[in-house]
Amino acid sequence: MRVLLTGGAGFIGGHVLAELLRRNHEVRVLDSLRPDVHPTPSAWTVPAGVEALIGDVRDAAILDRAVAGVDAVVHLAAKVGLGVAIGDMPDYASSNEVGTAELLVAMARAGVSRLTLASSMVVYGEGFGHCAEHGRVRPAPRLESALVQQRFEPPCPLCGQPLENLLVAEDTPFDPRNAYATSKAAQEFYAANWARSTGGTVATMRYHNVYGPGMPRDTPYAGVASIFTSALRRGAAPRVFEDGRQRRDFVHVRDVASATVAACEGQTTGVAAYNVGSGTPRTVGDMAEALSRALNGPPPVVTGQYRLGDVRHITADSSRLRNRFDWRPRIGFAEGMAELAHLDPASPGAMVRLP
């Protein structure tokens, strides 16, 4: 297929580009090289035969050029991050929501009917938990008064008791709890609106905690893996928020790339969302300990610090993705952590974000 890949200069985008080329697709890449994501834009290189366009997905003129003649679009371009600063709301809304809407309009003009959209686990918020008394419930919001007292588990909204964490399936109702999460949920709604109006096809990929080669460093949106490895390379102990028992699904970026391309190839009708996770929940403390061992660094320090907007637990049920596309993650947690720990942060591959 001829595929337009937006955000192809980014961390995940570079690996998706490599996977598309490995599967013999013809690829055009569009990226804005925005400085908050690409502090050294001159480091961006693309393989021979890949057409690279520099431009913003909010620019209708560049979009018309980008979608011309393609069979499918993989849309990764977005403002990412924690999404907790109120002042960032307009940028999230403009970059992610308006940008996606402009792309969908351009696809409609050009008659391009296949979209693979990068979404995120953050659309779920806390998902659901199990209460010993009340069964499956949506956790009540965590209050700062509880966090100050080191009571980190989200409570049952009915009795206030801690909940057992449950895997999140794609039919879990949305509960976005910050600006980034809200913008990702909006992207999904815009894509569904477009599909209903045009007869288009959408595969929405709800990525869980992605890590691996090319992960950006020393930025608030880099993820805990990058923050921990950066500290350890300085000889400092990784600092773990709360009690370190926050549960996540850490999934390797090459597995994310293979899932994304499998959906691009395989979703030929309808609209469907897919959790993209390893299927094996781990704690944030597990990750910090694995990286400390791999780098022979100091053990993690559990700080008890917290961010009010953080989700305590979010782990995926990725069975729909596995069953629909016969996809399986190939890189285990121990192997992936060892690889991440020993990447050379100054290597060209780490900066270019191509595997």
Give pLDDT, residue 85: 79
Is residue 140 in some structural domain? no
Q: Is residue 108 part of a domain?
A: yes
Number of domains forming the structure of the chain: 1
Judge contact between 115 and 197, C-beta under 8 A.
no
Residue 124, phi then psi, degrees to nearest 5? -80, -20
pTM of the model: 0.90
Domain assignment of residue 193, yes or no: yes
Q: Give me the helix-helix angle, 60-67 and 99-110, nearest 10°.
A: 50
Asked, for residue 156, whether it belongs to a domain, the answer is no
Domain assignment present for 351? no
The C-alpha atoms of residue 292 and residue 56 are separated, in whole angstroms, by 39
Per-residue pLDDT, 352: 32
In 3-state terms the chain splits into helix, strand, coil percentages (rounded to 5) of 35, 20, 45
pLDDT at 32: 94
**Residue 348 maps to a domain:** no
* Domain range enclosing 251: 2-127+166-342
* Predicted confidence pLDDT, tens digits, the chain (355 residues): 999 999 999 999 999 999 999 999 999 999 999 887 776 666 678 888 999 999 999 999 999 999 999 999 999 999 987 666 789 899 999 999 999 999 999 999 999 999 999 999 999 988 889 999 999 999 888 899 999 999 999 899 999 988 888 999 999 999 898 899 999 999 999 999 999 999 999 999 999 989 898 887 644 445 688 889 889 999 999 999 999 999 999 999 999 999 999 999 999 999 999 999 998 999 999 999 999 999 999 999 999 999 887 888 888 899 999 999 999 999 999 999 999 888 755 443 333 332 2
Residue 290 lies in a domain: yes
CATH of the domain at 8: 3.40.50.720
Q: Do the domain assignments include residue 197?
A: yes
Nearest Cα to 253, choosing from 291, 293, 205? 205
